[in-house]
Each structure stands twice: as C-alpha cells, then as structure tokens.
A and B are shown apart, each in its own frame.
Chain A
Amino acid sequence: MNKTMTTASLALALGAALTVAASPAFAADSAADKEKCYGVALKGKNDCKAGAGTSCAGTSKTDYQGNAWTLVPKGTCEKTVSSTSPTGKGQLAEFKEKKA
C-alpha cells in the first residue's frame, strides 16, 4: 500500500533538512574560504595558437588520417567486469569512415 505525502510529512521533512543544513558540522564544511580548495580543471578552449607540426611531420600532435577503421577500444574499459559485449563483435570489419 502506498503512503501519502501529507502537508505534515512535507513540513516535517523540510524541518529535518533545515536542522541538518544549520548544524555546525555543515557550517564548518561550507566556510567562506572554501573556494581556496578549488582549482580550475578546465582549460579555455579558444586560443590563437597553431598545433605544432603539419599533418606530414609526424609530431605527437598529428592525428591519424586513415580511412579504414581498424581500432578497438584499448583503455581502462579493459579493466571492467564485463569489458566487452558480444553485440559489438563482427561490426568492426564493416565500418568505414564516412565522408562529411
């Protein structure tokens, strides 16, 4: 049987939440200088540099130009419990890069 949210239970829940939010433990946690802990993980994505190297130069920043797809995921996914699903097999050979 389903319970019903009454006005009283809503008020009770909000009251309980406020008690937690007003507790000294939470206040200490959100001290004004907490922003000191934060770095900025993202870069600005707009800049006016050029990637070093031409596509022929073989630098580390030069990206794969091939047309036929031969790669399989080879990252941390290999460490998961079920790292591959059978459904994906067999599709790789048929996949070719499509032109824009």
Chain B
Amino acid sequence: MTIPANCRPSQGDAPAFPVTTLPARGGVGLKPEHFREILDTAPDVGFFEVHAENYMVDGGPFHYYLGRIRQRHPISIHGVGLSIGGEEPLDAAHLDRLAALLARYQPESFSEHLAWASHGGVYLNDLLPAPYHVGTLARVCAHIDHVQERLQRRMLLENPATYVEFAASTMAETDFIGEVVRRTGCGLLLDVNNVHVASVNHNRDPRAYIRALPLKAVGQIHLAGFARDIDAAGDPLLIDSHDAPVAQVVWDLYAFALDLLGPLPTLIERDGDIPVFPVLLAEAQRADRIMRQQLAATAPAEACA
C-alpha cells in the first residue's frame, strides 16, 4: 500500500537522496560517561547517536570529544527540542543552531519527534502529545517542510510514546504518520519501544500498529527500556524511561519489525542509570545478531547457492 517516500515529490523540492546513510547495524547512544573509553578503545559499533541540544554549546569538552569520535564513527543527530508538534511556529533561532550543528558534524542521519515541548516561550523538556486531526496534520507537515528546507536534507520523524489520548483526535496515529510521510517526504524513525509502550498504554495491537505504518519510509530503529506503573483503573501504564535494558518483549517486536523491514540502523537508547559501556555495546551486538538471523532466515536460497 505504501509508496517509498523518496519516490514522491513533496510540496517543497525536498531532494530525493536517502534519508539516512547509517550502516544497518546496532548503534549506541553517546554519553559523556563513555567519551574517554570510546576514544581509547575504538569499539566496533555501527554508529553513535547524540541529542542535538546537548551539543548546542559554544565549545569545551562536549565538542572536543564528539569531534574526535565523529572522525572514526558514523553518527546520527537526534533532536529533542524543535517542537514539531507545537501550535506555534518553529523557533527560528533553534533551527539555526541545529543547521550549524549539522553543518559542523555532517551526521549520517537527523531525526526528531512527533511531539511538542515549547509553548509561549517556555520549554517544558518533555515530548508532549498532540491530538491527531487535520489541524495538527497541517501544522506538523508545515513544520517538517520548514525543517527540511532549512536543513536542506530529509529528516526522520519518530513515532511517540504517549500516556493519554485526546477526545479531539479524528485519525489513528498510524494514519496520521502515514499522511505526514506522504505529504512531506520525510522518513520514519521506528521506535519499537515506543510502539510497545503506547500499545500497552492505549490497549492496541503493536503488530497491527507496525503493519499500519508507512514501512517503506523507515530509515532507522530505536530500542530502549521502559518502566512500569498503573493508571487510575489499575491497568498497566508503561513509561518510556530509557533507564533499563531493552525488554524481551521489545526484542521480540523488533524481530517482527525486521521481518517486514529488513536490516536497519538500530540504536540502543539509554539515558538513565547509565551502565558501563560494554553493557550497551552488548545490546547493540544483540541487534546485529538478530539482523543477521533475520537475513539468513529470509534468504535461504542465496545462502545455499
């Protein structure tokens, strides 16, 4: 049903170059705790990912280390502060900072969230949800057009982990994302943990959710750990906490997604209770193994030839 995003002309003249050139391997979120060890040991890892806003500072150790690590490894830059789902126009100064950062580090991939964080000049530092209706759709598409035009590249949009739904929504999240991809030509960052978290939180079938996405647009995958809570009715409420290893249920969903998608750059995200680097490397290598197994299972004829 879906048509490859880069085959469609977008409203602007978004160039048709690939949305990511990261290798189809496991990657690891880059944390300051691991800067030194990564430089000293040059680990064999597919790529490193950083949060854009952490490097929007003038100088000092963050740029020193990222500059050196970037010389040896592919990197992806993942924004958390653009507020693409916001009601207000994008923050032009922030977009300028982002453009400068991308020009400096030339990342293989740039992604942002289907969420908002800024309103009325205040930045709330969380990925906040928006209702899915034609008004939000028009705003999100306009914002993504603006971003792609300013950055002169295609971006990946990440599906959200949410805790509430809106009475005002008139579209399913998957239809909303499909329409955004169709209209803007952006790629999709499939966060498998977010799919699991949101599916539990909203009583959805995660596999049906994945099948309903514009899968040809997926350029990268995120995996992370979650925390458990309950809602007011006592039903499970999962929280996208990034402070634990990837759960088995998310690894299983990842394997399901790979059967549909084939191998893709896959990030292990960890933002809290940061373990020693080899623990994260091992999770990235587990993603590599699953990708190899999936390739072997889907291409038996070539394997025997």
Contacts and interface: CB of A to CB of B under 8 A. Distances in A.
Interface in B259-290: 269, 271-272
B154 interface: no
Contacts of A46: 51-54, 80-81, 125
Interface of A: 35-36, 38-40, 42-54, 57
B181 interface: no
B243 A52 contact: yes
A49 to B, nearest CB: 4
Nearest to A54: B229
B37 to A, nearest CB: 10
Given A40-B65, A44-B51, A46-B81, A51 B35 contact: no
B126 interface: yes
Contacts of B52: 46
22 contacts: A35-B64, A39-B36, A40-B32, A40-B61, A40-B62, A42-B32, A43-B33, A44-B62, A46-B52, A46-B53, A46-B80, A47-B80, A47-B271, A48-B80, A48-B127, A48-B271, A49-B241, A49-B272, A52-B227, A52-B241, A52-B243, A57-B229
Nearest to B228: A52
A47 B61 contact: no
Contacts of B133: none
Interface residues of B, number: 34
B239 A53 contact: yes
B97 interface: no
Contact of B272 (A35, A40, A45, A52): A52
Interface in B26-79: 31-33, 35-36, 50-54, 61-62, 64-65, 78
A44 B54 contact: yes
B145 interface: no
Contacts of A52: 227, 239, 241, 243, 272
Contacts of B36: 36, 39-40
B101 to A, nearest CB: 12
Nearest to B53: A46
Contacts of B62: 40, 44
A43 B32 contact: yes
